[in-house]
Amino acid sequence: MLVIIMHNNQTYLEILMRLAKKEGILNANIISEKNIGSRLIGSSLNFIYSTGKILNTYNKAFVAATKGESETEQFLNLVNKNLLLEKLTINDKGFICTLPFHYIKSIEMETTKTKEGDKKMQIAKFLTKENILLDIKSNTKNDVIKEIAYTLKKSDKLSDYDKFIKDIFERERLSTTGIGNSVAIPHARTDAVDNFIIAFGRSKKGVDFNSIDKKPAQFIAVMGTPKSKGLNEYLQILAHLTRLLNKDSFQKELLMAENEETVLNLFKR
C-alpha cells in the first residue's frame, strides 16, 4: 500500500521522513515534480483513504510504501497527532491519501530518460523469450504465479527462488494485484533478487485474480525488484508496465502473437 502526502513545505516533508524512519518504514521518498498530483495519480478516485484536495500547485510529495492497513493507520495517526506538523499546516493542510500500488499513474522523472530523451524504462531489456509463457496451464491464481515465476528460477539475478515466491504471495495477501482490464501484476520488493526481473504469461481463457473489476486476468506479469533499489525506480517500472499492459491495442496484439519472439518484439517496440 502507498501513503502519499502532498505539500510544498520541505520541512514538513522532512519531518514525515523522520517519522517514517522511526516507525521502521524505510521505503519512503520525497518526490519533487511540477503538478505532482497529476503525475502520480491523475484523476484517480480509487483511494482507500483521502483528505484535502489535490491542487495543481503541489510540486512535492512524500511517498511511502507500507505493509498493510495496520501500519498505514498507525503512521497516519502519528502524523495527525504531531504538534509541529500541525503548526506547519495552519495555512495549507496538504493532501493525504492511501491507495494500492497499481493505481499509480506516472512518475516519469527526468532521471528516467537518456540524454537523447528516450525512456530507459524499457521493459523488454529485462525480458527474454525464456521468461514468456503463451499458454498458461494453471487454473488458480497462486498456481499461475508459480508457473510464470518458475521461468525465472535459473536467472542469475534471482538468488533465492523460494523466498521470491514467498514475498510475492505476502504482497498478494495485502491486496490483489489483479488491476482490472484483464491485467494482473504480482510483484514484490525483495532481497531474493539482485536486480529487476520480470516474466510474462498469457491466458486466453483468463484466470480469476480477484481483480477489482471482477474479470479474469489474461495478461500476467510477475516482477521483482531488490529492496536496495529506491522506491522511485520501483514505482516507475510498475507504473510504466501498468500503462503498457492496459492499452487495448497492445492487448490485441499480445492475444494474436503466435510465439515468444513476437511478444518480445512487441515489448521492444
Per-residue DSSP letters for 4-28?
Answer: EEE-S-HHHHHHHHHHHHHTT--SE
Q: Are residues 46 and 124 in the same domain?
A: no
Q: Are residues 83 and 179 in the same domain?
A: no
Q: Are residues 75 and 120 in the same domain?
A: no
Specify if 223 maps to a domain: yes
Specify if 105 maps to a domain: no
| Residue 81: strand, helix, or coil | helix
Q: Are residues 128 and 166 in the same domain?
A: yes
pLDDT at 112: 36
Specify if 32 maps to a domain: yes
Total domains in the fold of the chain: 2
Specify if 254 maps to a domain: yes
Q: Are residues 87 and 114 in the same domain?
A: no
CATH of the domain at 241: 3.40.930.10
Domain boundary (51, 71, 99) is at: 99
Q: Are residues 83 and 175 in the same domain?
A: no
Specify if 38 maps to a domain: yes
Sheet strand arrangement including 95-99 = 28-32, 60-65, 2-6, 95-99, 49-51
Q: Are residues 129 and 158 in the same domain?
A: yes
Share of the chain above pLDDT 90, in %: 49
102 is catalytic: no
Q: Are residues 66 and 196 in the same domain?
A: no
Cα(180)–Cα(227) distance, rounded to whole angstroms? 26
Q: Are residues 141 and 244 in the same domain?
A: yes
Q: Are residues 46 and 22 in the same domain?
A: yes
Domain boundary (99, 129, 152) is at: 99
pLDDT at 24: 87
pLDDT at 202: 96
Specify if 104 maps to a domain: no
pTM: 0.70
Q: Are residues 144 and 61 in the same domain?
A: no
Cα(49)–Cα(77) distance, rounded to whole angstroms? 13
pLDDT at 147: 97
Domain that holds residue 229: 110-268
Per-10-residue mean pLDDT, the chain, length 269: 91 94 85 82 72 90 84 92 90 87 53 39 83 94 96 92 93 82 91 93 94 90 85 76 89 95 92
Q: How many helices (H) and strands (E) does the chain have?
A: 9, 11
Cα(2)–Cα(75) distance, rounded to whole angstroms? 12
Domain boundary (46, 75, 99) is at: 99
Catalytic residue among 7, 102, 187, 240: 187
CATH of the domain at 62: 3.30.70
pLDDT at 104: 63
pLDDT at 43: 60
Q: Are residues 25 and 142 in the same domain?
A: no
